[in-house]
Amino acid sequence: MDEKLQIQKVLKGDSSAFGYFVDTYQDMAMTIAYRVCGNMQDSEDIVQDAFVKAFHNLHTFKSDSKFSTWFYSIVYNTAVTEYRRSAQYVQYVDYEQPEISDMYSDFDTMSMIEDEERRTMINKALDMLPKDESLILSLFYLEDNSIKDIIQITGLTESNIKVKLHRARKRMYDILKKIHENFLNEK
C-alpha cells in the first residue's frame, strides 16, 4: 500500500488509517526499543509512546525520507530517553516469530527447525554484543536500512556507524562461531 496515501488519509482525519503503520512497523520498533532498553515491558511502553508521538506529529513528516526512517528515529530517541532514566541492560529479543500453520511437509518442518535454531543463535549472539552494535546490526541486516537511514535514526556520524558495523560484524562472527561450536559439542 502506498504510504503517502495512508499519511494523507490520517492527516485528513481518518485516524484508523494509522493502523497500517502500526501493523507494518511494530515488530522492528519493538526490536529497536528492546535493543536500547533491554526490558520487554518497557519496550512495549516505548513503542506505544513512539506511535502516539508519530501520530500527533505526522504533519511534520517530510517525504524526503522514508516513513520508517522517521518513525524509527522517534522510537530510538524515546528508547534512549527511557534507558537513561532507568539504566537497565539488554537481555533478549524475539525477532518476528514465524507463524505456524497446521500442515507442513517433513522438509518444511525440518527447514522450520533449522530456521528457529539459526534465529536462536543469532539472538543469543546479538545479546552478547554491546547494545549499540547490536542495534546497528539489527537495523542494517534485519530491517535492511541503509547507512544513511541509520544516521537519521540514531544521529551518529557515517564513519561512526561504519566503524561500529565493522566491529560488530567481527564480534558477531566470533560469537556465532563459539555458539556453533558449543552447539555441536552438546549434540
Instruction: Identify the pLDDT of residue 87.
Output: 57
Predicted confidence (pLDDT) per residue in 49-90, tens digit: 999 999 999 989 887 778 888 999 999 999 888 877 765 444
List the one residue out of 55, 62, 31, 59 whose CA is nearest residue 44: 31
> Helix 147-154 to helix 158-186 angle, to the nearest 10 degrees?
100
Helix (H) or strand (E) holding 172: helix 158-186
What is the average pLDDT across 13-20? 90
Averaged pLDDT for residues 156-182: 90
Cell of 43: 519496550
Sketch out the chain's domains with CATH numbers.
Answer: 3-86 (1.10.1740.10), 106-186 (1.10.10.10)
pLDDT computed for residue 119 by the predictor: 78
How far apart CA 56 and CA 103 sit, in angstroms, is 43
CB 71 within 8 A of CB 50: yes
Closest to 175 (Cα-Cα) out of 122, 133, 117, 116: 122
What is the mean pLDDT of the segment spanning 15-25? 91
Give pLDDT tens digits for 114-157.
777 777 778 888 888 888 899 898 888 888 889 998 998 899 99
111: cell is 527447514
Q: Global pTM? A: 0.65
Helix (H, G, I), strand (E, B) or coil at 137: helix
- Calpha distance 138→108 (Å, rounded): 26
Helices (H) and strands (E) in the chain, counts: 8, 0
- What integer is the mean pLDDT of 29-48? 89
Q: Which three cell numbers stand for residue 114?
A: 533449522
